[in-house]
């Protein structure tokens, strides 16, 4: 991992460490509330992948194609933060009281990086919806948790790691609007270049384009691993 990544992590505000710890503790509460729901097993298409050997992850990383370096990712975060600041202050003023909704797990990475670059007052919460659950192809959409912060009358920025087919992000944006949020924006670090059917075509704020391949790093995973890879990579053959 590069020194620039370590430096940036050390510079994150203490409040963000508290936020991430809060997310983990709150998520445990939601996990407990889900114990009454039917449980998946590995035979179900949406079930998480079984544990993989660390050696396999090293091989995947070694064979993968590097698409963006940590420095290029940092530059993308800078650009996104500047665009978000400009748009929100123009539309809402400095004290528009926006709410950032991170989409776990991958969306926590860009949300942390971007929010640490925003210098106007805001609040943070999260909304957890997914179609992957440890796999490499999207299946049925599942909402795992909802924001605790009331959305009615709030400007909302939904932050995620990647815009792929756009189905998950479209559902989250629709949920926010139906619950009275206005205006509602979307921000993703990575946007895939391919046709999107029922999902949204483009996010309001985008950092980096990628081809229609399976990518990991900067919060994005491969079978639950490699979110912490030093850059953004494409899996060989996918």
Q: Hey, which residues does 210 pair with through a beta bridge? A: 192
One DSSP character per residue, 81-124 reads HHHHHHHHHHHH-TT---EEEE-TTTTHHHHHHHHTT--S--EE
Strands 123-126 and 99-102: parallel
Helix (H, G, I), strand (E, B) or coil at 28: helix
Per-residue pLDDT reduced to its tens digit, 75-100: 999 999 999 999 999 999 999 999 99
The strand order across the sheet containing 232-234 reads 65-68, 232-234, 215-216
Contact 232, 205 (CB under 8 A): no
Per-residue pLDDT reduced to its tens digit, 167-215: 999 999 999 999 999 999 999 999 999 876 667 889 999 999 999 999 9
Walk me through the domains of the chain, giving residue ranges and CATH numbers.
71-212 (3.40.50.2020)
pLDDT at position 200, please? 83
pLDDT at position 7, please? 42
Is the per-residue pLDDT at 25 higher than 90?
A: no
Is the per-residue pLDDT at 156 higher than 60?
A: yes
% pLDDT > 90, the chain:
65
The answer to whether the pTM exceeds 0.75 is yes
Residue 222 φ/ψ, nearest 5 degrees? -120, 110
């Amino acid at each position: 991992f590069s020194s620039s990544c370590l430096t940036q992590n050390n510079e994150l505000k203490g409040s963000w460490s508290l936020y991430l710890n809060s997310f983990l503790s709150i998520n445990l509460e939601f996990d407990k509330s889900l114990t009454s729901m039917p449980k998946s097993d590995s035979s179900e298409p949406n079930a998480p992948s079984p544990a993989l050997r660390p050696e396999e992850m090293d091989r995947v990383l070694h064979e993968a194609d590097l698409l963006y370096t940590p420095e290029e990712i940092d530059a993308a975060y800078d650009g996104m933060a500047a665009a978000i600041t400009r748009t929100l202050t123009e539309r809402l003023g400095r004290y528009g009281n926006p709410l950032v909704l991170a989409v776990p797990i991958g969306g926590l990475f860009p949300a942390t990086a971007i929010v640490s670059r925003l210098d106007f007052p805001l609040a943070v919460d999260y909304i957890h919806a997914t179609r992957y659950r440890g796999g490499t192809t999207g299946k049925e959409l599942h909402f795992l948790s909802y924001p605790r912060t009331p959305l009615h009358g709030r400007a909302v920025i939904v932050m995620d790691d990647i815009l792929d087919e756009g189905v998950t992000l479209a559902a989250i944006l629709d949920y926010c609007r139906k619950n009275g949020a206005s205006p509602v924006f979307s921000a993703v670090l990575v946007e895939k270049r391919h046709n999107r059917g029922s999902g949204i075509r483009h996010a309001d704020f985008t950092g980096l384009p990628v081809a229609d391949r399976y990518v990991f790093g900067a919060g994005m995973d491969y079978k639950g691993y490699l979110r912490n890879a030093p850059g953004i990579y494409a899996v060989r053959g996918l």
